[in-house]
Structure formats: C-alpha cells, structure tokens
Chains A and B, each alone.
Chain A
C-alpha cells in the first residue's frame, strides 16, 4: 500500500462534499439533484401512470423505467454527442436494477414510474450520483419504498482501497505525486440498501486482486448509510423551509 495520501487530501473512506436537494423540478411528481464533488445529477420522477403500449404492461406490478442522459457539455474533454449511446443505455439498465428492489409497486399494476436522470456535469462517479438523485426523487414523489438506495464508487488505487475516486484518481499513474507500486486502478460503483446492507448494483472495471473486493464492499456499504441520511434529510428539508412546497 503505497497510496498513503490521496491526491486531494481526503481520507480513504471520505467522499467529496455532497449536496442534495428535493423538489427542484416543478412539473415532476418528484425530483431532486445530487452533487458529489463536481459531479452533478438531476432526477425527475413521473408516475405511477398508465403504461402504453399495452404489451409492456405487467399485470402484477408497476414497473420502473430509467433513463440516464449526460448533457453534451458535462464531460471532461470533448462534447458528448446527444442521442442514443450504448454506455448511457447500459447505465440506464443497471440503475433501474439498482432501484427496483426497494420500490413496491404491487398496488399499481399495469403502470410505469419513469425516472429521468440528467447530468450537467460528470466528474467520476456519475452513475452513482444518478442513482442517489433518483432515490431522493422517488421518495419525493411519494412512491412506496422500503428504504432509500445509496450509491458510491469504491476503487483501488495503487493497491489501496478507497472511496469515491476523483477523475484524477481514475487515471492515477498519470497524476501520481509519489512513486507508484502498482499502476493498476479499478473503479467499483456500488449501490446498496442502507438498512440491510444488501447490494442492488455492483460493477467493477480495472485490475485488482479479489481479496480487495471485500474491503471495497465494506467501505462502500458503510458509507452508504451516511449518504442515505443525507438523502432522507433532503426529502424532509423541502417541507422544513419556510417557503414550504
């Protein structure tokens, strides 16, 4: 473990500063934004509402549709061409599966709850921010959920497990200030249900030892409890302000 001091001075299990707010999109049934560091995601929830066309309907329960979109100017580097893109489609799918286990739409057969996540700025950890925003938006919309879903990216940088990798850490050897033992970096976005520790979404990208995974999961699931408190507070704060709804 040679990665002793993180590039931005954070502790290994410290995330970048988080800011969350609910009720930000007037036309939506529920909405929120979630910022972690520079990564910034909006989420809007529409539903439950009748799902058309008919053949998509599920007679036993309502379903969730998730749409993840990056604004064209949101990335570091070149503009992202708007339109269907495979990465966004995949993220939409894993995000939908990350959220579905907590939501209970059995009282709403044949309906759909549409979640739209859009990011004005993406600086690593964007899919996690999207899932966090979506979770707040769902609660804000009054959707029955047994708990929030919190999401954070764990990672391994120079043999050290840490949380919420920044963009620079994702490309670590380039930005290293000290001698690097291992050039391998891995990125592990994890979503979990804070009250049970159950993991609803996990991916890994990069090169790491399997023994490091247990620690990554442990760090992430512990942090998810804290993140969930921030998410819950955001839902409440909408009603605590003098201005009300």
Chain B
C-alpha cells in the first residue's frame, strides 16, 4: 500500500480480535462499529487518537460510553446518541404539553421531561376554538384548563432548566377531541420521517389529523374505525425502527389495513437519527 495514500482504515474489531492485537501499537484502536448500541462503561476506543463528545468521556487512554446510546462517528469524534430517557427540551422544538397547574399569570405544563414548562399568559392566545384570544389575568382557566393538552413551542431553556413555551405561532393551539399516545421521544424522528414523509403517509392512508410533539407525545384525530390502524402504525415504527426497510413495511401495513393504495412518496427514510425531519 502506498504510504502517501494510506487512509486511516476504519477498524471494526470484535473483543476477541482486540485481545489478539494487544501488542498492536497504533495511533488508536476503535472497538465499536458506527451505529452500534453502546452501554455505560463500555470501552469504545483506546489510544489518544479519538475524541470524546456527547455521551462519551475519556479516562486515561480510553474513550468510554456514559449512557445507553447509538454510536455516531464524525471523523475522530465519538458521540453517543441517546436512545432512552425523557425528553430534553430544546429551543424551537414543537411539543405537546399538558396543563398540570394554573397560577395567576401562567400555566405549568407537564412535558414528559425532567422538568415542567411554563406558559406565561402573555405567550398564550392561540386560535383555540371557543376560547378568548386574550387570556384574562387571574382567570386563566378560561383559556386553558387543568388537563388540557396544548401544542406549543419551546422559546427558551434557562441554565436552571426553566423551560418557557409559547402558543403564539402557526398551528400552535389547544388540542381538542383527539387521542393522545406516548411514544419514545427518541423515536420521534422516525415517526415523522424525512421532511414529514412517514407521518404524511399515515395521514394519507387513514385520513387522520396527526401532530407529533418532539417530546414524544402524539395527538391523533381520526374516524373511529381507523384510529387503531394509525396507532398500530406508530407502535410498529417504534418497535421496528432499527430493522431496515421500515418505510416499505409501514406502507405495506397501511395499505393492507385500509385497503387503499398509497400514492408514491419520493422521500426516503432518514439516514441518521439526528435528522429530526419535518
């Protein structure tokens, strides 16, 4: 091999091989495949060539995973993308929250996260059906009452993990008469699909209205007869997202269950988990 053209080969070694190669002193040894599942304490790489990042840390000459996740390699940087756990609020995320408390000037929302979110009365006033546009101070439950589900957007997450949301924005509003289901927040990108392809496929097949919150809460409004099909499709995506060919399988499932052919979609399944699509 020409030394000048020698590229750093991606070393994919099983633990057994690792033992045989103990004397192999290279610049760094990668011990996991890209996109594989890693768990806390698992050694991902040895040597000083690789760099830790989100979900991984360095201890002496080793890079180690510090949470359950999927390995994502960008050059020499080893990142572990979370696969489990509650939602991490991020600015600009659109989420579905539930009113769990009302004060004089704001609503507190449960958002499937370690923390709750605050919706200040100044930030409210989406086009909720039958509700005043401008919340009356001191009488906030006229706008959103306890238990209401609200489609809102995260406007900020402070250092102290205080989450602020707003319902001022296109489409943001109180959600009426629908079915709420909880999904793994880390599966949301697959449920939405690239540029919304997956969720649109389900909508087209069933005629349901669907809103998928980044925080793992999904709202559906369907004709009773097709509601179970939409819910089953979402659960199927959740359970089978790691098996290749998902989009085709979901298309087949929907066509079979609804008896209708689905128009061709040009979008493909997302290539990486980070692409939150839509």
Contacts and interface: CB of A to CB of B under 8 A. Distances in A.
Contacts of B68: 139-140, 142, 235
Interface stretch (B33-41, B143-151, B218-226): B33-41
A210 B41 CA distance: 32
Nearest to B85: A142
A108 interface: yes
A147 B239 CA distance: 27
Contacts of B120: none
Interface residues of B, number: 30
Interface in A29-46: 29-30
Nearest to B36: A236
Contact of A108 (B37, B39, B161): B161
Given A195-B41, A195-B64, A232-B41, A50 B114 contact: yes
B57 interface: yes
Nearest to B55: A144
Nearest to A147: B41
Nearest to B114: A48
Contact of B41 (A111, A148, A242): A148
Contacts of A89: none
A228 interface: yes
Taking each of A48, A109, A143, A245, which has the highest tally of chain B beta carbons within 10 Å of its own beta carbon?
A: A245
A143 B85 contact: yes
Contacts of B37: 236, 239-240
Given A139-B68, A239-B83, A228 B41 contact: yes
A52 to B, nearest CB: 11
A214 to B, nearest CB: 25
Contacts of A235: 39, 68
A243 B239 contact: yes
B85 A244 contact: no
Contact of B67 (A49, A108, A144, A194): A144
A4 interface: no
B240 interface: yes
A139 B85 contact: no
Contact of B64 (A30, A47, A110, A147): A147
A145 interface: yes
A141 interface: yes
Contacts, number: 89
A5 interface: no
Chain A interface size, as a band, is: 35 or more
A104 interface: yes
B161 A245 contact: no
A146 B40 contact: yes
Contacts of B43: 195
A244 B84 contact: no
A140 to B, nearest CB: 6
Contacts of A240: 37
B82 interface: yes
Contacts of B184: 245
19 contacts: A29-B86, A47-B86, A102-B40, A108-B161, A109-B161, A111-B114, A139-B67, A142-B67, A142-B68, A142-B86, A144-B66, A145-B66, A145-B67, A146-B64, A147-B40, A148-B40, A195-B64, A232-B42, A245-B239
Interface of A: 29-30, 47-50, 62, 102, 104, 108-111, 139-148, 194-195, 228, 232, 235-236, 239-240, 242-245
Closest 8 A/B residue pairs (Cβ): A142-B85, A147-B41, A142-B84, A244-B239, A48-B114, A145-B40, A232-B39, A235-B39
